[in-house]
Amino acid sequence: MNIADAPVLTLADLAAWSRPGTALAVLGHPIKHSLSPRMHNAALAELARTDTRFATWQYVRFEIHPDDLPRALDLLHAKKFRGVNLTVPHKIIAFDRVAEIDPAARPVGAVNTLRWTERGWHGFNTDGYGLAAAVRETLGLDLTGAPIVLLGAGGAARGAAVECLQRRCASLWVANRTRETLDTLLAIIGPIASDVPFHGFSPATPPTDLPAGAIVINATSAGLRPEDPMPIDLAALPRPVAVFDMIYNPPQTGLLRAAADRGLPHANGLAMLVHQGAKSLEHWSGIPAGQTAPTMAAAARAARGLT
């Protein structure tokens, strides 16, 4: 298969699906720009070189409207797709349609990975793992024991906050433009924070007792477009140890430029995308994520025109 040209399939294609072999799929709306098919098919091709089990595995993409998600998930299960990835806007909708949920994914309230079981779908969320692995790989830092300043309170921020708390960060400071969304996030993480101190604040007025040496993580979508405002003014914070932006397209957001100007270590979200993907494949294949991540990274970088 020409990985670069994997076609965008529809619900009708799924209803008519009769391809032999082991199938995996990503569902999104829109799905055209997803790098997941290239990453996964590159990893599967590499695995198939030494393990014939993977010779018949394929990863395809479906454009599915949110209204059609329940039917699509039923069809994928009936046709015995081994695994499914979910991207915007399906992660939260799918959470209510799984038969079993990974305990680590429950507080997030969203799933990005489903594994076929006789009883129905087993749901996981690998975004938090992807974040932790990416921060370690790109910045050489651990979430465990670190003060964290998390920007955003949407779906990605929720996953990041849960991961930081489950890994026992030193403290968690969440900034969000809209107070209501922030309060919802704080209410969700309260029960799992244990004795880790957590706080919410407006990015326009950072509190004076923010710790120095924090890892700043951008989980807002501010920075996707050139005209977007900065999610926070780095000059208004005590000097962080590093800045991680979940956005990878564009590769350098205004926030990362500001970090570079201040001489701070910084990284974009491409490695996070890679590691969440490798963890999904581990759930389906049993192959450790660390084994497939380098191939996925090379495929993602090639797809983005990087070498």
222 binds ligand NDP (CB under 6 A): yes
Does residue 80 have an active-site annotation?
no
Interface residue with ligand NDP, options 136, 228, 265, 287 (CB under 6 A): 228
* Rg of the Cα atoms in the chain: 19
Nearer to ligand NDP, 10 or 102 (CB): 102
Percentage helix, strand, coil for the chain under 3-state DSSP, each rounded to 5: 45, 20, 40
Q: Is 86 helix (H, G, I), strand (E, B) or coil?
A: strand
Q: Where are the beta strands (DSSP E) in 203-292?
A: 215-218, 242-245, 266-267
- What is the nearest approach in angstroms of ligand NDP to the Cβ of residue 243? 14
Q: Tokens 């501010």 — which residue?
A: 222
Q: Tokens 């706080």 — which residue?
A: 199
The terminus-to-terminus CA distance of the chain in angstroms comes to 22
Interface residue with ligand NDP, options 171, 221, 252, 291 (CB under 6 A): 221
Nearer to ligand NDP, 171 or 221 (CB): 221
- Are 58 and 41 in contact by the 8 Å Cβ rule? The answer is yes
Nearer to ligand NDP, 77 or 127 (CB): 127
- Side-by-side strand order, sheet with 266-267: 198-201, 171-175, 147-151, 215-218, 242-245, 266-267
Nearer to ligand NDP, 46 or 245 (CB): 245
220 binds ligand NDP (CB under 6 A): yes
44 binds ligand NDP (CB under 6 A): no
- What is the nearest approach in angstroms of ligand NDP to the Cβ of residue 119? 28
- Which two structure tokens, joined as six digits, stand for 214? 């924090």
Number of Cβ atoms within 10 Å of the Cβ of 13: 13
- What is the nearest approach in angstroms of ligand NDP to the Cβ of residue 190? 18
130 binds ligand NDP (CB under 6 A): yes
152 binds ligand NDP (CB under 6 A): yes
229 binds ligand NDP (CB under 6 A): yes
Q: Residues in the site for ligand NDP, rule: CB under 6 A?
A: 127, 130, 152-157, 176-178, 181, 219-222, 224, 228-229, 231, 246-248, 269, 272-273, 276
Residues involved in catalysis: 91
